Every structure is written in C-alpha cells, then in structure tokens.
A and B are shown apart, each in its own frame.
Chain A
C-alpha cells in the first residue's frame, strides 16, 4: 500500500495509495489489539503476522506499535554488518547458540537485498541458521530490503522493537552485505559489530572513513584462515591509535580556542572469531555485554536518541511523501514536475513550491 522508502517512483505513482485506503485501514486496525495481545502472550504465529504488518506498513502495524513501543527498550539490540561472504549469518547462528546456552532468548532479523528490477528477493540467511528450529526462544525473520539503501529495510528497526516488546533478550540485526558506507545499522543498534574477512586489504582500508568508524566491535571472522591475526593486528593498530584525549573544552586556560566536543569516531575493540567452529564466539558475546554495560553507564542515551530520531524522521518523511502523493495535489504536482523535466524550473524551487502547496491546500 505504501511504496517502500527511497524509490524514485514514489511521487510518480501515487494512485493506489490515496483514496481507497481508509475503509481497509479501519478494518485492519481492528485486528491489531487481538494480534498484539496474542503476541505478547507468547504466540509466535501472531508475532510473525505483526512483523509482516510492520514490513508492509499496514494500519495494524501502527496500532500495534502504539501498544508495543512503550514495552520495548529492554532488549540488547546488536547490529551485525560486513561485506558479502564474510560470515555474518554463520556468526549470527554461532552467537545465537552461545546466547541460548546462557539462557537468553534471541530474535534475529536478517536482511537481504531486493532486486531493483523485479522487486523480488532471495533470502538465504536461514541456510546458515539451522540449529534452533525446535526452540521457541529463538525467532528468525528474514526481511527483504525492498529498495531501501543503507544495509537495512526501512522497517527493520520497527521489527526489532516488536521483538523487543514481546520479550526477546538479545536481538541480532544482520544487514545485507555491505561495503564501506552503509552505516545505518549503527543507528538501529545498541552495539554495532563490523565483520571483516582476513586479508581485507592493507592499512589504508582501515583508515578510510565510513563503516569501520561506526563499529563498537570489529570482528575478523574466518580466524582459521591465513592472515586473520595479521588483519586483526593491522586493524588494531590503525583503529585504536586515533588520538582521543584532550578534546573537551579545557583549552581556555591556554588562551587557544579549540573545538569543544566534536563528534568522534568510536574506538572499537578488535576480536578474531571462527564462526563455523564457534571459536572466539563466547568472547564476542562477553565483549557485547561489556559494551552494553559500559554504554548503559555512558553513551546509550545518545545512541537511543539517535535511533529515535532516525525512526521518527523516517516516518515524518514518509507521511509527507504520502501527503504530497495525494490525488488532491495531483494537478499542481504534475505541473511542477513537468516544468522541472523541461528545465523551466529548478528542482529546489520546485520542492519549495510543492511544500508551500502542501501547507496551503494539502490533506491534513
């Protein structure tokens, strides 16, 4: 009903989303209380259906979220990201086993890319997560990214909040295979793990801006391969050596004005694991816990604040797009877009005009 985020076609193809929604929305929202209550009661089928509603951004999801969101915030949400084939799914499976042995329930959200051409997707992460089929305290859900760039689906955070609310202790969000700049997962997670495979590159790769900067933990997986330890040492050398002290505004005594409290990249811990055998995975769980307890003392409020901001902004943007896409505005919108297409109007002025129109005569 609502096209996924980030598709350029959003504005061009608004027809279905506009008018016939309301009746169906009311019907749907009516199912929400029962479904939510059953999911909170531990019914996994209802949880699965809620997650579908969240993915499809239906009215059920909105109604359910009003009830569930206040109950969330207790789980440890861990983002796991890294290049394709670095072993994310295998590591998620290994972490799940270790966490289960420690008595914690585990929810997994595994994101794989959608085809930009057909909209289809091949969700293959479960292949590596076979061990926990009979265990009701493990819940694995695959999600297609549905055109959303950044490594996650636009609804991944909301799905994690649902799992959090129904009581999972540890939630692992596995991104699509990422390159250097898909940093969105850091906003979705309390703790961000970036995976690297051995021989990922030389030291220059480690000092480039981007993904590694948002890592709380860097894991060199496939630790049984040659070069794993050397890759870990290189990463440690380059990532941990960054100067950090003295950035607070203490400089006035020297009479020099230095920048006060500039945002700093994180200082990740570097670990080596072999997910396929489980080597190093208990240590990883311990490091996750340590990060969380450290973060709870210090920086988690900031991480949660930025997650809140990302979620709310995404919804605001989506709502604005929906309003702009409404039939009411169609004539104005089409005229303005035509002008831009013909280069008679620049895109900035066009956007200003559309927003003005929205304020003046758009749907509430």
Chain B
C-alpha cells in the first residue's frame, strides 16, 4: 500500500522560537516523499491536536527546544487519545535529556530524535512504524 504518501504533521508546541530544525526536517521529509503539514511556531497542545485531526495525519512530529516537553508532550498525547487518534504515531525531536525519554515513552511517544539524527533515518522510522490505513 505504498500508493499514497504518508501524511506527517510537523508541529512546534510551546514558546521557543527556534524552528530552523523543524523547517529543515519538514523540507527533508518532503524530499523523502512525505506529505508534510507544517504548523508554524507557538502552537498550543489544542492547536496541534486540532491540526492532526483535521489533516488526518499518520504521524505527528513535535519539535521542542524549550525544555517544556514534559508538560506539553503528555498533554498532546492525551488530547490525541481523547480524539480517538491513538493510532497516530507520535515522535519528538529537539533537546530532550535522556532521563526524560522513559516519561515521554510512557505518555505515548514512539521515538525521540535528538541532535545528529539524520532525516533519512527519521523517514525510515516513519515508514516502518506509521499505520497504513484506508
């Protein structure tokens, strides 16, 4: 079922204004053949969940460099579950201390991509782990 591109939401929740990484990733995933919805900066968890729902994405990629991941990410995961989007793959990128990864995994995050991750490996992970529906 490779006949349609996977759809990915790249979102920047929270207040940090550094979206170069998110933009580079969005562009790189485009080149990997994904349909990438980019939300722009300063998204509330509600905005991210709304966008994921309306766009019916297969993957949500959250970019966070502010240190607020332990607050924002579990909330987004909960909102997605409440909207019965528990089949959506949630991943996080940015500056995330190793010690926090288990908490995020617990909250429902499938993978955390730190500095140095290649775009190719992110794409590969998405392809291998996103649900294929329809």
Contact = CB atoms under 8 A, between A and B. Distances in A.
Contact of B35 (A2, A16, A123, A140): A123
A140 B44 CA distance: 17
Interface string B1-36: 001110000000000000000000011011111111
B39 A126 contact: yes
Contacts of B36: 120-123
B55 A141 contact: yes
B32 A142 contact: no
B56 A133 contact: no
B83 interface: yes
B134 A118 contact: no
A141 B121 CA distance: 28
A122 B38 contact: yes
Q: For chain A, which range describes its interface: under 10, 10 to 19, 20 to 34, or 35 or more residues?
A: 35 or more
B51 A144 contact: no
Contacts of A142: 37, 55
Given A16-B3, A118-B30, A130 B40 contact: yes
Nearest to B50: A133
Nearest to B27: A122
Contacts of A122: 26-27, 30, 36, 38
Q: For chain B, which range describes its interface: under 10, 10 to 19, 20 to 34, or 35 or more residues?
A: 20 to 34
A361 B86 CA distance: 47
Interface in A153-179: none
Nearest to B44: A133
Interface string A225-252: 0000000000000000000000000000
A101 interface: no
Given A115-B31, A120-B33, 13 more contacts: A3-B3, A45-B84, A48-B56, A52-B133, A56-B3, A118-B31, A120-B36, A121-B34, A122-B26, A122-B30, A122-B38, A133-B46, A142-B37
Interface of A: 1-3, 16, 28, 44-45, 48-49, 51-53, 55-56, 58, 60, 114-115, 118-124, 126-128, 130, 133-134, 139-142, 144
Interface of B: 3-5, 26-27, 29-40, 43-44, 46-47, 50-51, 53-56, 83-85, 133-134
23 contacts: A1-B3, A28-B134, A45-B85, A48-B53, A48-B54, A52-B133, A60-B134, A115-B30, A119-B5, A120-B32, A120-B33, A121-B30, A123-B35, A124-B38, A126-B55, A127-B39, A127-B40, A130-B39, A130-B40, A139-B54, A140-B51, A140-B54, A141-B55
Can you list the 7 inter-chain pairs with the closest CB atoms, starting with the nearest?
A: A127-B40, A133-B47, A48-B56, A120-B30, A118-B33, A120-B33, A133-B50
